[in-house]
Amino acid sequence: MSKGGTISPNISIESPGILISAGTIFNAQVLVKSRVSSEFWTIDIPLEIRTINSLNITTYSGLDSPVGADALHEISLIIINNGNSDLSLNPLQKALPGGWSIYENLQSIDIDQGQTKIWSFFLQGNGFAQEGSINLRFQTNNGFNSEWNDTISVKSSALPILTFNEVSFIDGTFSKTPLGAGAHPVGLPGFDMGWIVYNSGTSVWEPEASMQLPNNDWNYSCTISPTRISPGNNATIWCTIIIPEDEEAGSEPQINLLLSSMGVEVETTLSLLVESDDEVTWSLRNMYEAHEGYSSTLIFDLQNTGNTIISSKLTTDGPEDWDIRIKDGILVTLVPQESRSVTVTFIPDDSDGVVELNLLNSEHISGSKILTQIDVIPDPSKSSIPNWLMPSIFILISILSGIGVFIFIKSKSKTNTKSSNKLDDKVTYSMTENDEKWGQKSEILSNEDKNKKSVEDTSNFERFPDYPGWLWDPSNEEWIPDPDYSSETPPQS
């Protein structure tokens, strides 16, 4: 550094890592040494810890559950001074939900550095108080402040009264008492139970419905109408309940209906009577091809899908002489949901048929019978026509063929004879009367012209070279003039 010059060194100081009280003074010393001599200089620097204000405010109690709309309610807060100076806090109300007010005044609080305190205040409801956000500000005289906010939930002043109304089954049966319609059916589609809830309180209530059932295999769905219940009005709750199919017949399980909202709850419990359901289900597991004269096998699975014990005997039915047999025992005893296999053998004849399996005396058991259509594959070594019948069929075919040929020849001969006679008559007439009738050609052609109008299309007529100028009409079996013939000379002998 030159004579008379200056420099501005940067100096950084690290704190010791602990919270030091505000206003504490430390003396620091800067040592400056000459680089060209042994001289040195010292400079004292006083260091003062500045004030750091920090608060942590959380809810301690009083807001974990709904409170009455007219309650005098205490709320407690935990306040922690995380700063390095003592604080004197003045709480101020910033926001309250409608219907609430601060009871008496908010008390100031002194809290030393690093200290934790619990501070409480009271809210007073006016009977119509609403839920919402509470907001307070804590401030010091030197301008520092910190805010706290939380939500208060209000318990409704509704007063519900819940009564049972009706039970209804899918077949139209209903009753005003839970057991009045008889035992309750199992399985889909279930049955309906209804309740009426009356609001005898002073505020609107919007409850939600839920049920507690014996286990997770049970199912339910509930609706409330109307969903918003004003004071002095009621609503209807309908719940569809599905009892599992394997629920023990005759048992009396309990169910519970709960309505709850805004801290108000009402519930009711009642008992059911489970209906007996005698039901089995057959399924064809395996079916082998049925060949005429050979043993074939059917394998079924029989399951008790009801809720009672099934005890019966298996029987079979089908075409006579099929020798239908049950191979693995005819006695059946199945608890609910239990199953067993049933193997049936039979020897079919040459015709199709139906094999029937049935539980004996099982008119009360649903699904007790199963019918299986059997398509039989014929024995290829056997002719479908008896041997003794073959000669007779051959003789009959020969006779019918001969008769047909005879009729055809006779008919053809008759047609040719008739055609020849008619042509000969026409030609003879023309030859004998040639000289006398030739002058009358115009008259003859005029009369025949009437016929030509009806036979303009000559494609279906026959021409013969021996008889020029004439056409043979097979349908009417007659000769007619050929309109395309140009010669003016009549046929000559």
Tell me the pLDDT tens digit for each residue of 33-69. Answer: 877 788 888 888 888 888 889 999 999 999 998 888 8
Q: Taking all residues of the chain, what is their mean pLDDT, rounded to a whole number?
A: 84
Residue with the bigger pLDDT between 300 and 399: it is 300
Residue 111 Cα distances to 85, 119, 137, angstroms: 9, 11, 16
Structural domain total, the chain:
3
Residue 239 domain-assigned (yes or no): yes
285/208 same-domain check: no
330/412 same-domain check: no
Beta-bridged to residue 221, according to DSSP, are 240
Give 274's DSSP letter: B
Q: In the listed set 338, 361, 377, which residue is the last one of a domain according to the structure?
A: 377
177/260 same-domain check: yes
Which CATH number belongs to the domain containing residue 172 in this structure? Answer: 2.60.40.10
Instruction: Determine the average pLDDT of the residues in 227-250.
Output: 94
Number of neighbouring beta carbons within 10 Å of residue 67 = 22
Looking at residue 190, its pLDDT comes to: 96
Looking at residue 387, its pLDDT comes to: 54
User: What confidence category does residue 462 fall into, taking pLDDT thresholds of 50, 70 and 90?
Assistant: confident
* 402 torsion bin: left (phi>0), alpha (psi -120 to 50), beta (else): alpha
Which residue range(s) make up the domain with 331? 280-377
Residue 252 domain-assigned (yes or no): yes
Tell whether the model's pLDDT for residue 438 goes beyond 60. Answer: no
Cα(310)–Cα(190) distance, integer angstroms: 23
Tell whether the model's pLDDT for residue 299 goes beyond 90. Answer: yes
Instruction: Determine the average pLDDT of the residues in 113-122.
Output: 94
294/267 same-domain check: no
The CA R_g of the chain, rounded to the nearest whole Å, is 58
Residue 317 domain-assigned (yes or no): yes
Looking at residue 446, its pLDDT comes to: 46
211/256 same-domain check: yes
User: What confidence category does residue 486 fall into, taking pLDDT thresholds of 50, 70 and 90?
Assistant: low
Number of neighbouring beta carbons within 10 Å of residue 162 = 18
Cα(176)–Cα(60) distance, integer angstroms: 50
Looking at residue 330, its pLDDT comes to: 93
User: What confidence category does residue 165 fall into, taking pLDDT thresholds of 50, 70 and 90?
Assistant: very high
Tell whether the model's pLDDT for residue 493 goes beyond 50. Answer: no
Is 201 in a helix, a strand, or coil? Answer: coil
230/322 same-domain check: no
Looking at residue 406, its pLDDT comes to: 66
Looking at residue 368, its pLDDT comes to: 95
**Per-residue pLDDT tens for 312-364?**
999 999 998 999 999 988 999 999 999 999 999 999 998 999 999 999 998 89
Q: In the listed set 241, 271, 301, which residue is the last one of a domain according to the structure?
A: 271
Instruction: Determine the average pLDDT of the residues in 202-229.
Output: 94
Residue 111 domain-assigned (yes or no): no
Burial class (CB in 10 A: 0-12, 13-18, 19+), 68: middle
242/295 same-domain check: no
164/257 same-domain check: yes
Number of neighbouring beta carbons within 10 Å of residue 30 = 11
Q: What percent of the chain has pLDDT over 70?
A: 84
Sign (positive/negative) of CA torsion 200, 205, 210, 212?
negative
**Per-residue pLDDT tens for 168-185?**
999 999 999 999 999 999
175/233 same-domain check: yes
User: What confidence category does residue 92 fall into, taking pLDDT thresholds of 50, 70 and 90?
Assistant: very high
205/243 same-domain check: yes
DSSP H/E element including 220: strand 219-225
Residue 9 domain-assigned (yes or no): no
Q: In the listed set 333, 361, 377, which residue is the last one of a domain according to the structure?
A: 377
Cα(77)–Cα(72) distance, integer angstroms: 17
Looking at residue 457, its pLDDT comes to: 57
193/287 same-domain check: no
Residue with the bigger pLDDT between 485 and 411: it is 485
Instruction: Determine the average pLDDT of the residues in 92-120.
Output: 93
Residue 40 domain-assigned (yes or no): no
Residue 197 domain-assigned (yes or no): yes
295/367 same-domain check: yes
Cα(155)–Cα(151) distance, integer angstroms: 13
Residue 224 domain-assigned (yes or no): yes
